[in-house]
Chain A
Amino acid sequence: MSSYRARFVSLAAAALAVGVVACTSSSSGSAGNTGKSPILIGASLSLTGDFSADGQAFQRGYELWASDVNSHGGLLGRPVKLVILNDGSSPTTVVSDYQKLISVDHVNLTFGPFSSLLTAPAANTTARYRYALIMGAGTTDDVFHLASNRQVHNVFSPSLPVKDYLVPFANWIVSLPPSERPKTAAYPMANDPFAAPPVQVVQQILQRAGIRTVYSKVFPAEVSAYKGPADQVAASGADLVVLGSPDIPTVSAFMQAFQQVHYNPKVFAAASGPDGGQEFLNAVGVGNATGMMVPNGWYGSYANPLSHIMVQEYIAKYGGTASDINTDVAEAYSVGEVAADAVKAVGTNNAKIIKYLHSGVTLNTVQGPARFTSLGENPRPASFIFQWQNGHYLQVLPAGAPGSVKILFPKPNWIGQ
Chain B
Amino acid sequence: MTGPGAAWRGGGILALLAALALFPLVFTNPLVTTIGVDTMIFVVAASAWNIFSGYSGYISLGHAVFFGTGAYTVGIAARDWNLTGTTVFWLLPLAAAVAAVIAVPFGLLALRVRRHTFVVVTIAIFFIFQLMAYNLPFTGGTTGVSAPFLAWQPGTSNDPFYYLAMAIAVATVGLSWLIRGSRFGLQLRAIRDDEGRTRGLGVHTMRVKLAAFVISAFITGLIGGLWFYFITQVLPPSGFDPAFNVSVALMAFFGGLGTVAGPVLGALILEPAAQYLTLEFPNAFLSQIILGALFAAVVVLLPRGVIPTVGEKVTSWRARRSDHLAARVAAAAARPSAERSSS
Q: Which residues of chain A have a CB within 8 Å of any CB of chain B?
A: 1-10, 12-14, 16-17, 19-21, 23-24, 47-50, 52, 84-88, 90-93, 95-97, 99-100, 102-104, 116-117, 120-121, 124-125, 127-129, 140, 142, 146-148, 151, 191-193, 220-222
Contacts and interface: CB of A to CB of B under 8 A. Distances in A.
B27 interface: yes
Interface of B: prevailing SS = helix
B146 interface: yes
A117 B235 CA distance: 8
B209 to A, nearest CB: 25
Closest 7 CB pairs of A and B: A6-B12, A48-B284, A3-B8, A147-B149, A6-B9, A148-B149, A128-B154
6 contacts: A5-B307, A6-B13, A10-B12, A13-B16, A96-B35, A102-B154
Interface residues of B, number: 67
A24 B157 CA distance: 19
B272 interface: yes
A129 B9 contact: no
Contact of B238 (A12, A52, A90, A125): A90
B231 interface: yes
A221 B142 contact: yes
B34 interface: yes
Nearest to B311: A5
A92 B19 contact: no
Contacts of A13: 16, 19-20, 268
Contacts of A7: 8, 12
A21 B36 CA distance: 12
A91 B131 contact: no
B232 A10 contact: no
A363 B217 CA distance: 53
B142 A193 contact: yes
Nearest to A99: B31
B31 A24 contact: yes
Nearest to A104: B31
A86 B238 contact: no
B278 interface: yes
A14 B311 contact: no
Given A9-B16, A99-B34, A191-B134, A91 B238 contact: yes
B15 interface: yes
Given A92-B38, A220-B131, A124 B278 contact: no
A414 B81 CA distance: 54
Contacts of A21: 27
B312 to A, nearest CB: 11
B117 interface: no
A93 B278 contact: yes
A2 B260 CA distance: 12
A170 B62 CA distance: 45
Given A1-B261, A6-B13, A191 B235 contact: no
B5 A2 contact: yes
A81 to B, nearest CB: 14
Nearest to A26: B280
Contact of B284 (A10, A88, A191, A220): A88
B19 A124 contact: no
